[in-house]
């Protein structure tokens, strides 16, 4: 019998991330209320010393709570163990040690820092042209996808969240070649991308990545795709998923991707 629930929210942060006050149990209850079939709690894992979240994540406590929630909501919700690692190309050893020590299902690889600069703030753009700011980001993103051990790239093109004073929306076409190089490398290494609707919530504009990038990924042969709200509160969960699912279909996707034990499986889009 077809499952007509929303297929997934694969980018969520709870109190095991330093920037969230949402408990895992509350998130599960909201997921069931919103008719989600599957969630992945992808807590921040940061090793860059300057990052305010460095050292915050407690994997043992996280796994204990996740097991409790799996028991509590058994038969109502599929709950995946995950994390979002920042700058995986700079901390490959630490990432490998974490995935070897605990039974994670899913790992997002995200870029929050370009060299010594945090991209998650308007100040990143100060003293730079748009070409310099985005060019440096996509250059370091290529380094990330070349060596990082993760399943999906998080919020590809995320600096645009903080550039509203410079443009209404990011036109990715001036950066098409470096973006395509990132996408080709992802496909070659078996890495997917996500549609991150947290960028819609913050800007009122496109998700991350922009629709053009999603089309390029599919055109190049990309198949691994997840959808995540980047939610830090229950009200964030499944935000603008109707739009995200429509974009996936328009780009030619017939499925999303679910992960168990880091192994992908396709979930049909009705």
Average of per-residue pLDDT values in the chain: 96
| DSSP structure class, residue 165 | T
Are 229 and 198 within 8 A, CB to CB? Answer: yes
Total-model pTM: 0.96
In degrees, to the nearest 5, what angle opens at C-alpha 154 toward C-alphas 151 and 159? Answer: 155
Report, as an integer, the average pLDDT of 225-241.
98
Determine how many CB atoms are found less than 10 A away from the CB of residue 102: 14
CATH topology of domain 9-268: TIM Barrel (3.20.20)
pLDDT above 90 (res 4): no
pLDDT above 80 (res 257): yes
Nearest partner of 196 among 8, 1, 2, judged by Cα: 8
Quote the pLDDT of residue 157. Answer: 97
* CA dihedral sign, ordered 131, 135, 138, 144: negative
Quote the pLDDT of residue 69. Answer: 98
Tens-place pLDDT, residues 88-133: 999 999 999 999 999 999 999 999 999 999 999 999 999 999 999 9
Are 247 and 211 within 8 A, CB to CB? Answer: yes
pLDDT above 70 (res 22): yes
pLDDT above 60 (res 1): no
Number of H helices, E strands in the chain: 8, 11
Phi, psi of 266 (to 5 degrees): -85, 140
Nearest partner of 122 among 56, 61, 167, 182, judged by Cα: 167
Quote the pLDDT of residue 134. Answer: 97
Quote the pLDDT of residue 164. Answer: 86
Q: Of all residues in the chain, what percent carry a pLDDT higher than 70?
A: 99
* Rounded Cα gap, residues 37 and 197, in angstroms: 18
Nearest partner of 262 among 208, 190, 196, judged by Cα: 190
Quote the pLDDT of residue 3. Answer: 61
Are 132 and 173 within 8 A, CB to CB? Answer: no
* CA dihedral sign, ordered 243, 218, 90, 157: negative
Q: Of all residues in the chain, what percent carry a pLDDT higher than 90?
A: 96
Nearest partner of 167 among 119, 133, 197, judged by Cα: 133
Crossing angle of helices 241-250/211-219, nearest 10°? 40
Taking the CA of residue 68 as centre, how many other CA atoms within 13 Å lie in the half-sphere pointing to its CB? 10
pLDDT band at 214 (very low <50, low <70, confident <90, very high): very high
Dihedral, CA atoms, 75, 240, 172, 188, nearest 10 degrees?
10
**Burial class of residue 190 in the structure, from the number of CB atoms within 10 Å of its CB (0-12 exposed, 13-18 middle, 19+ buried):** exposed
pLDDT band at 262 (very low <50, low <70, confident <90, very high): very high
Report, as an integer, the average pLDDT of 163-168.
87
Report, as an integer, the average pLDDT of 157-164.
95
Report, as an integer, the average pLDDT of 239-251.
97
Domain boundaries, the chain: 9-268
Quote the pLDDT of residue 103. Answer: 98
Tens-place pLDDT, residues 56-86: 999 999 999 999 999 999 999 999 999 999 9
Judged by DSSP in three states, 176 sits in: helix
Quote the pLDDT of residue 83. Answer: 98
Which residues, other chains included, contact 262 with Cβ-Cβ below 8 Å and sequence gap of 6+? 99, 104, 105, 106, 107, 151
Quote the pLDDT of residue 168. Answer: 84
């Amino acid at each position: 019998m077809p499952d007509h629930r929303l297929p997934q929210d694969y980018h969520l942060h709870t109190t095991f991330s330093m920037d969230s006050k949402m408990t895992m149990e509350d998130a599960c209850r909201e997921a069931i209320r919103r008719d989600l079939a599957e969630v992945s709690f992808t807590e921040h894992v940061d090793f860059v010393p300057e990052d305010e979240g460095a050292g915050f994540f407690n994997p043992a406590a996280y796994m204990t709570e996740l097991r409790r929630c799996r028991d509590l909501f058994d038969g109502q919700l599929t709950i995946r163990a995950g994390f979002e690692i920042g700058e995986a190309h700079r901390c490959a050893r630490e990432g490998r040690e974490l995935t070897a020590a605990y039974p994670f299902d899913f790992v997002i690889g995200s870029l929050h820092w370009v060299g010594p600069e945090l991209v998650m703030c308007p100040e990143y753009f100060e003293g730079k042209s748009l070409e310099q700011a985005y060019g440096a980001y996509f250059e370091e993103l290529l380094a990330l996808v070349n060596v990082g051990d993760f399943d999906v790239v998080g919020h590809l093109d995320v600096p645009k969240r903080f550039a509203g004073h410079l443009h209404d929306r990011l036109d990715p076409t001036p950066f098409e070649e470096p973006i395509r190089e990132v996408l080709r490398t992802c496909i070659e290494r078996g890495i997917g991308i996500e549609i991150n609707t947290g960028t819609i919530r913050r800007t009122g504009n496109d998700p991350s990545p922009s629709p053009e990038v999603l089309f390029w990924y599919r055109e190049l042969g990309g198949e691994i795709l997840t959808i995540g709200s980047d939610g830090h509160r229950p009200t964030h969960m499944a935000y603008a998923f109707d739009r995200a699912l429509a974009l996936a279909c328009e780009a030619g996707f017939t499925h999303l991707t679910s992960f168990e034990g880091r192994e992908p499986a396709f979930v049909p889009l009705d």
